[in-house]
Structure 1
Amino acid sequence: MQNRVVDDDTRPQLSHERIIATAVELLDRDGVRKLSMRRLAERLGAHATSLYWHVDTKDDVLDLALDAVFAELGLPGERGATWQADVEAFMTGLRSVLLRHPWAAALASTRPLMGPHALRSSEFAYTALAIGGFDGVHLSSAAATITHYVIGSASTEAVWRERSDEAATRSAVDAHLHAHIDEYPTLAGHFPLLDEDDWDAHFHRGMRLLLTGLASPGVRG
């Protein structure tokens, strides 16, 4: 990733911050697949080649845009009463910003989260788990478990919410399972028919199960 500065009045007046803010705007509107350096330049009123004074590739733009999303994660300035409270604050906060930008969760599962804002959020989560007694490989595994749960659930929710026929699709799946109940007896009885409010409850139930498991004796090594 490069930041090149030259004295050239013929170039559009671009800034690193403006490029990334515009990229996030386009990603929110159109998603990752439709983002290109050309479309980004057009949105900025600039020539595509001028972007390369600030970023090298589209992948750089995606990494920086994803880190800008993590910058929105407002974590507590002071530690909570328990390490579980801090982990819950991290998980609920991360879910909130990922859902605010529906492209971000799926992208986060495929990119190295090495931007400064992502690393600060990871530091918060790791510290909470370390206070809870996790160390070494157990700390890494616990951190991965809570992060992957948030990213995976947010990605799934974002995909379902984009479907205009979510309720109809879920009903069709439910009907199919009941039509083949001999093959899928457990699924037929428990397939989630979620509405908007249920997504929150669904996430928090899973989070509580995770935190209960992490607090269990013997889990921390």
Structure 2
Amino acid sequence: MPRETLNRDQIVRTAVELLDAEGLEGLNMRALGKRLDSAATAVYWHVKNKDNLVLLATDQVWSELSLPDLDTVDWRTAATAMATDLYGMFTRHPWLVQAFAAHVLYGEGKARHDDRSLAVYEAAGFTTAQADQAASAVFTYVLGNAAGAAATASLTRKLTREDNTAEEHLQDAMTRAQEIAMRHPRLRARLETPAATDYAAGADNSFEFGLHALLDGLERQIDV
């Protein structure tokens, strides 16, 4: 596809598709050009470089988030909805978790989300400084929970590229981890329960449980 028929929106959408499929390590102008049926050099007419492309892709997915109307819902409902929506975005696009470790991320979509997040905690009764801390604590909690899914996706891609036996390697690793866990009483007791699946599996609703506990703790800090 010649550069005259390309546009930035098309390039960014395709970059998101490539990132979802191949992760941050799989994003390069040659691979992107192939998906666009275009020469890699044509892409450079619309984006400066890979770092610029990551920023544009990040802002594209950040715009997927819906923002609660604080005139119609209370702060706790709004905070829960925003955190849950954010977690969903990170798990749909696990490369975004990787990007936080390698890039300074900013853009209109992220700013829009961050501004509403601060408004939520100010509506709860926090001072400006406290709202900053509360929003940061919840964001960090969500990002940390999504890191597991991002790591699994990255490892699976890596193993698949190497020898197409990713599932076998992962299963072997989990078997060894369970063998070690069985030497420790509390881990063994959990693995021996009828509902147990594997050592790496988290408890059902663990994200919701932790978020609820975190918001409970923040609520107790209001007016302290």
Structure 2 length-normalised TM:
0.78
Of 160, 174, 177, 1:173 maps to 177
Of 71, 84, 92, 2:76 maps to 84
Aligned to 1:62: 54
Aligned to 1:130: 122
Contact 1:12 1:46 in 2 (8 A): no
Contact 2:79 2:120 in 1 (8 A): yes
Contact 1:157 1:199 in 2 (8 A): no
Gaps of 5+ in 1: 1-9
1:26-105 equivalences in 2 (<5 Å): 26-105=18-97
Aligned to 1:4: none
State the AA in 2 paired with 1:74.
S
Aligned to 1:18: 10
Gaps of 5+ in 2: 157-166, 192-197
State the AA in 2 paired with 1:177.
A
Aligned to 1:215: 219
Indicate yes or no: 2:158 matched with 1:154. Answer: no
- 1:107-153 CA distances to partner (integer Å, 9 max, x unpaired)? 23543332111111111111001111222332222111111111121
Percent of pairs with identical residues? 30
Q: Which structure features the higher share of helix residues?
A: 2
Across the aligned residues of Structure 1 and Structure 2, the Cα RMSD in angstroms comes to: 2.7
Relative to 1, partners in 2 of residues 1:167 and 1:109: Cα closer, same or farther, differing over 3 Å? same
Relative to 1, partners in 2 of residues 1:76 and 1:137: Cα closer, same or farther, differing over 3 Å? closer
Contact 2:122 2:128 in 1 (8 A): no
Contact 1:66 1:108 in 2 (8 A): no
Classify the secondary structure of the residue corresponding to 1:81: coil
Contact 1:69 1:98 in 2 (8 A): no
State the AA in 1 paired with 2:30.
R
Structure 1 length-normalised TM:
0.79
Relative to 1, partners in 2 of residues 1:119 and 1:65: Cα closer, same or farther, differing over 3 Å? same
Worse-superposed segment, 76-85 or 39-48: 76-85
Q: How many residues align?
A: 205
Contact 2:97 2:146 in 1 (8 A): yes
CA distance in 2, matches of 1:202, 1:187: 17
